[in-house]
Structure 1
Amino acid sequence: MTYDEFNEFCASLTATSHCVQWGNSHVWKVGGKVFAIGGWQKSGKPGYTFKVSELHYDILKDEPGYRPAPYLASRGMKWIQQYDLPSSADDSLKYYISESHQIVHSGLSKKKQRELGLIPPA
């Protein structure tokens, strides 16, 4: 997945915003909270960082092409970085980014979720 494709996919998710920060990384947020980062890779190849469930963290942390996200995982957070995988892995990446979006927006207050159109009005 290219960074343009990454940005297009993240923009298609509900109530997202984009900014460039942390060394020119593409940072995607929902309700002001980060759910995906494109960049942060020192090798020059694309790297994508996202929040995962505990189960997916345990599975992915040792899989080829995935690793605990630098900085975030070292602080006990369940974030994974995908790097150096073929484009055939794009569907998996989209799944994990969608899951990250869900995990992060579920942590917002119900009021904020309603304001953003993430859950139906009460």
Structure 2
Amino acid sequence: MNFESAKSLCRTFPGVTEDTKWDNDLVFSVGAKMFAVTNLGEATGISFKVEDERFLELTDRKGIIPAPYLARAKWVHVEDADALGDEEAAQLLRRSYELVFGKLTKKLQREISGA
């Protein structure tokens, strides 16, 4: 997984915004709800939401841990770029976006989809 490519991919999803939180974290959001977090500058890891069923499977892999402060919401943190291939990482990031997008109000979903 190339962390810089992951950041670029996150920027392509409809309605995505990015901002800085907690001094050094780059946060990707849709409808003001986070779906991925990495550090500013050159990314050395990335956290994102996963489906409940995938959480244990992914955190059993070397280089992927429960995301600090967000694990209870089924977020994982990829520490090691070799833990995921680029294609699988892209699928997981897209799914994270979809999970968060799906929790938005229908009105907000329509506004974002129409943008």
- Which category of TM-score, normalised to the shorter sequence, fits these structures? 0.7 to 0.9
- Structure number, greater radius of gyration: 1
After TM superposition, list the pairs within 5 Å mapping 1:1-122 onto structure 2.
1-3=2-4, 5-39=5-39, 46-73=44-71, 76-86=72-82, 89-117=85-113
Cα distance, 1:87–1:52 mapped onto 2, change above 3 Å: closer
Counterpart AA for 1:108: L
Number of positions where the alignment pairs a residue of Structure 1 with one of Structure 2:
112
Higher helix share: 2
Indicate conservation of the 8 Å contact 2:3/2:43, yes or no.
no
Counterpart AA for 2:77: Q
Indicate conservation of the 8 Å contact 1:31/1:112, yes or no.
yes
Counterpart AA for 1:33: K
Unaligned runs of 5+ in 1: none
TM-score, structure 1 as length reference: 0.82
Tell me, in whole angstroms, the C-alpha distance in 1 between the residues paired with 2:97 and 2:70: 17
Indicate conservation of the 8 Å contact 2:3/2:46, yes or no.
no
Over 3 Å off, 4+ runs: none
Q: Work out the percentage of aligned pairs sharing the same amino acid.
A: 30
Unaligned runs of 5+ in 2: none
